[in-house]
Amino acid sequence: MSKFQQIEFYKNKKKEYSLLPFRFEPLSGNNYAVTNLAGEYLTIPRDELENLVKHKLDSSSPHYVNLRAKHFLTDDKTQIAKELLSIKLRTKYSVLSEFTGLHIFVVSLRCEHSCPYCQVSRQSDDKVKFDMSTEIADKSIDLALRSPSKNIKIEFQGGEPLLNFPLIKYIVEAVKCRARDKNLSFVIATNLALINDEIINFCKEHEILISTSLDGPKDIHNANRPRQGGNSYEKAVEGIQLVRAHLGIDAVSALMTTTQNSLGRVQEIIDEYLKYSFTGVFLRPLSPYGFALKTKTYAAYDAEKWHEFYLEGLEYIIDLNRRGVKFREYYTSTILTKMFTSHEPGYVDLMSPSGIGIGAIVYNYDGLVYASDESRMLAEMGDTTFELGNVLKNSYEDIFLNPKLLDPIEDSFAYSVPMCNDCAFETYCGADPVFHHGRYKDFIGRKPESEFCNRNMKIFKYVIERMESDKFVKKLFMSWAQPNA
């Protein structure tokens, strides 16, 4: 029918196109990753990239159509890209206005474990010296409830927080009483060695979740986490099962800490998590301060070795999924959420602007307030750069408008930092001024030398190349990316 036009009729009338803001990084071979303003990526060979930038890319190139559809360029066919990019960015940044969601209460510094990688705990029975008082708890609660965030998550940490269980009860009841129009959630980060029926019943009544440590099979776990009796593993596993029996299978989550003992044994660690029906594992890098640095265990722990550990773990998990076992890796998932959605996962270390203060805040047992968990650890080593005030002496404004908080946030904002501001992966990455300060003595470090940068860059490139070469992995990773999965 001559009434219908051919597709040629609808193609661009003019050959010219305009670039939209985008960045690029080399992958392996001749391939490059390009990312648009909202962090969506494509891969493209270098020569096509150069053609694109120099306005030599032809509209018949298969890359052209993808680049236009994914908002890397506009032409006379479509102008809607700017509006769509704006909306996507707005969604990404909208979490900032929520402000502090995670409030960490360090209810006691006492602990009956003596883990070599721990920065903070005290082997002590001195409750007066090392437990948080109700006065400090009250003031901390006041500050926490000042947060504009609709969703407040309160996490009890230590030492071993169950050693001060009475205060946990006090805080939970007080918060529930005083909080109006807030969605509250509570978590206790505990080694579970001291869990009992009373605690379980309280958790059940108030829907409190448990976060515990499971470093791997018994020998790794117990080597990492010594306690009197040498039974940290047995206690943890017992505790997990007890909690699940009363509070449900999802009531307890587990984190692992990577140490020299863990390296080379990632499959066994993952198998351990599978054994206890966990649906995923967080392959965390070791934080480079505290006892770890003091005892030089950090020097032995090589970033390169960790990367191998991580890759082996990730590949093993991919393979498990291929065989029908649903299991995921959480660090990768956090990155994938930033790659595939406009949702901000809220993981403090991978936020820019930095998540310190904005995402999380720490109220220490002694009333001091820290910008993040890592900030508190740094203070234990004598560096109080990120100590923001005292709940007994300072107001909300004193603490949250403290230049000690605002300066590192501003200075480390990745968008403005050398190399980060050109980096294609900036939207997937974070600022982490605390890490950089602890390691390199300034909020930014020099990114080419920064272990934080190296580690993350390697992961970003790996993840992209893996997805581009394997459809199954792309599908799997896209499912990991979803925030509510």
Partner 1 sequence: MEVNLIFDATVYSSDAIKKAAYRSINRFAVNIAKDGNDIKCSLTFKDSATEIQIKSYIDEFKKEVLDQDLRELIKKETEGVRNLILAHTFSKTGLIKDE
Partner 2 sequence: MLKLHGNAISYDVNLSQRRLFILTRKAGLPKTMKAKYAFLLDNNMNYEEGYGAYISFDEVKNTGIKNHFHLPIEMNYLAEGDVIKIEPSGGINSLFRKNSSHNTILLTEQCNHYCLMCSQPPKNIDDSWLMDDTMELLELIPRETVNIGFSGGEPTLYGYRFVELINKAKLMLPNTSIDVLSNGRAFSDLIFTAKYAAINHPNCVIGIPIYSDDPVRHDYVVQAEGAFDETIRGILNLKKYQQKVEIRIVIHKQTIGRLVQTCEFIARNLLFVDHVALMGLEMMGFTRANLDQLWIDPFEYKDILSEAVDVLNSYGINTSVYNHQLCVVNDDVLPNYKKSISDWKNEYVDQCNLCIKKSECGGFFSSSKLHRYSDHIKAII
* Nearest to partner 2 of 342, 402 (CB atom): 342
Choose, by CB under 8 A, the member of 21, 26, 45, 66 that binds partner 2. Answer: 66
- Applying CB under 8 A, the span of 49-57, 180-188, 198-206, 326-334 interacting with partner 1 comes to 49-57
Shortest Å distance, C-beta 85 to partner 1: 5
- Residue 462: which H helix or E strand, with range? helix 451-469
Is 441 a residue that touches partner 1 (CB under 8 A)? no
Give the span between the Cα atoms of 177 and 352, in whole angstroms: 34
CB atoms within 10 A of CB 194: 15
Kindly calculate the radius of gyration of the chain based on its CA atoms and give it in whole angstroms.
24
- Applying CB under 8 A, the span of 24-32, 83-91, 106-114, 374-382 interacting with partner 2 comes to 83-91
Choose, by CB under 8 A, the member of 77, 82, 90, 275 that binds partner 2. Answer: 77
Helix axis angle, 197-206 to 165-178, nearest 10°: 10
For every residue of 21-77, DSSP letters joined together read SEEEEE-STTEEEEEETT--EEEEEHHHHHHHHTT---TTSHHHHHHHHTTSEEETT
Is 76 a residue that touches partner 1 (CB under 8 A)? no
* Nearest to partner 1 of 111, 420 (CB atom): 420
Is 419 a residue that touches partner 1 (CB under 8 A)? yes
* Nearest to partner 1 of 49, 286 (CB atom): 49
By CB under 8 A, what part of segment 28-47 binds partner 1?
A: 37
> What does 3 bind: partner 1, partner 2, none (CB cut-off 5 to 8 Å by kind)?
partner 2
Shortest Å distance, C-beta 248 to partner 2: 23
Q: Do 246 and 204 contact (CB within 8 A), yes or no?
A: yes
Pairing, β 368-370 against β 360-363: antiparallel
- Residue 189: which H helix or E strand, with range? strand 183-189
* Nearest to partner 2 of 87, 300 (CB atom): 87
Task: Please provide the distance, in angstroms rounded to a whole number, between the alpha carbons at the two ends of the chain.
Answer: 49
Q: In the numeric block, which tokens belong to residue 245?
A: 């029996």
- Applying CB under 8 A, the span of 198-206, 238-246, 391-399, 446-454 interacting with partner 1 comes to 446-454
Q: In the numeric block, which tokens belong to residue 221?
A: 């776990």
Q: Do 183 and 152 contact (CB within 8 A), yes or no?
A: yes
Q: How far is CA 290 from the centre of its chain?
A: 20
Is 86 a residue that touches partner 1 (CB under 8 A)? yes
Q: How far is CA 42 from the centre of its chain?
A: 24
Encoded one letter per residue, x for contact with partner 1 by CB under 8 A and - for no contact, window 91-120 reads x-xx--------------------------
Residues near 367 by Cβ (< 8 Å), separated by ≥ 6?
136, 139, 140, 390, 391, 392
Choose, by CB under 8 A, the member of 126, 449, 483, 485 that binds partner 1. Answer: 449
Is 472 a residue that touches partner 1 (CB under 8 A)? no
> What does 66 bind: partner 1, partner 2, none (CB cut-off 5 to 8 Å by kind)?
partner 2
Q: Do 414 and 431 contact (CB within 8 A), yes or no?
A: yes
Is 303 a residue that touches partner 1 (CB under 8 A)? no
- Residue 413: which H helix or E strand, with range? none
Choose, by CB under 8 A, the member of 40, 160, 349, 387 that binds partner 2. Answer: 40
Shortest Å distance, C-beta 101 to partner 2: 21
- Applying CB under 8 A, the span of 247-255, 368-376, 386-394, 417-425 interacting with partner 1 comes to 417-425
Is 450 a residue that touches partner 2 (CB under 8 A)? no
Shortest Å distance, C-beta 254 to partner 2: 25
* Nearest to partner 2 of 7, 177 (CB atom): 7
Choose, by CB under 8 A, the member of 35, 191, 342, 352 that binds partner 2. Answer: 342
Q: Which amino acid is at 317?
A: I
Q: Encode burial over 237-265: b for 16+ CB neighbours within 10 A, e otherwise.
A: bebbebbbeebeeebbbbebbbbbbbbeb
For every residue of 274-311, DSSP letters joined together read HHTT-SEE--PPPPS-THHHHTTHHHHS-HHHHHHHHH
- Applying CB under 8 A, the span of 297-305, 320-328, 331-339, 414-422 interacting with partner 1 comes to 414-422
DSSP category for residue 112: S
- Which residues are at the interface with partner 1 (CB under 8 A)? 18-24, 26, 37, 49-50, 53-54, 82-83, 85-87, 89-91, 93-94, 418-419, 422, 446, 448-449
- Which residues are at the interface with partner 2 (CB under 8 A)? 1, 3-7, 9-12, 38, 40, 65-66, 68-69, 77-80, 83-84, 87-88, 340-342, 471, 475, 478-479, 481-482, 484
